Amino acid sequence: MTTNRHYSPADRLLMQADAALRTLLPFSGQPGRPSPAVVKPDAELDERDSRHVAGLMRINHTGEVCAQALYQGQALTARLPQVRAAMERAADEEIDHLAWCEQRIRQLGSHTSVLNPLFYGLSFSIGASAGLISDRVSLGFVAATEDQVCKHLDDHLGQLPAEDEKSRAILEQMRVDEAEHSTNAIAAGGLRFPAPIKFGMSMMAKVMTKTTYRI
């Protein structure tokens, strides 16, 4: 939650450390909305499907860890107060996704990725660097990142077993939210990244998905 209070650099660093712990420690994030999976029936998945869905949800959970770090890094270095507030607000909304994915992973008898601290650190650095360049670049990075996330979600929705309504409900709501974040970032003045930069971001995303599917 954002306020009009003016924080010192030391205050902001402590807030970033707190945000990192709440992102990385199990069940630390408190969602503002109940999981869409709650109202969906349980499905009997065989071992192979259960393991595959857990891998997909683990990828999405790590993606939300990266989103948290990205937004926190951008908020730390944003120049305009309204941009900083927008980044902090987006990070709050992403907590829902983080918690929903973790809940589903645990229901499937699996675990979140052990690589999350590494990806958090890398994403935080990228977000902070984008914010240092300019707020327009920072907002553009949000839009480009969310576009990549939407593509991954579309792919994962196509891979889910038809009977797994719980995972599908979560990913469908995430898809709606991420598309809205992208649209809002461009509307706020974000730079539209050229295709070569988006391609590079896609290659980086593939590294994350390949490594976190199992670990």
Let me know the angle formed at the C-alpha of 54 by 50 and 56, rounded to the nearest 5 degrees.
Answer: 120
DSSP letter at 28 equals: -
Q: How much is the pLDDT for 149?
A: 92
pLDDT for 200: 85
Percent of the chain with pLDDT over 90: 48
Q: Binding site membership for Fe cation: which residues?
A: 64, 94, 97, 146, 178, 181
Label residue 12 by pLDDT band (50, 70, 90).
Answer: low
Name which residue leads in pLDDT, 50 or 204. 50
pLDDT at 1: 44
CA distance 91 to 149: 15
Question: For 31-83, how does the pLDDT look when each residue is reduced to its tens digit (9 = 90+)?
Answer: 889 999 999 999 999 999 999 999 999 999 999 999 888 888 888 888 878 77
- 69: tokens are 């770090």
Q: What is the pLDDT of residue 22?
A: 72
Cβ neighbours, 10 Å, residue 90: 22
Domains and CATH numbers, the chain: 46-212 (1.20.1260.10)
Give me the residue label for tokens 């809205």: 180
Per-residue confidence (pLDDT) for residue 6, from 0 to 100 = 65
Residues of the binding site: 64, 94, 97, 146, 178, 181
Query: What is the predicted pLDDT for the residue at 5?
Result: 57
Residue ranges with strand state E in the chain: none
pLDDT at 133 exceeding the cut of 60: yes
Tell me what pLDDT residue 124 has. Answer: 92
Q: Looking at 22-31, 32-41, 106-115, 176-185, which range is the least confident one? A: 22-31
> CA 162 to CA 95: how far, in whole Å?
27
Nearest CA-CA partner of 21 in 63, 72, 58: 72
Supply the pLDDT for residue 52.
Answer: 97
**Residue that the structure tokens 């707190």 belong to:** 18
Lowest-pLDDT range of 29-33, 125-129, 168-172: 29-33
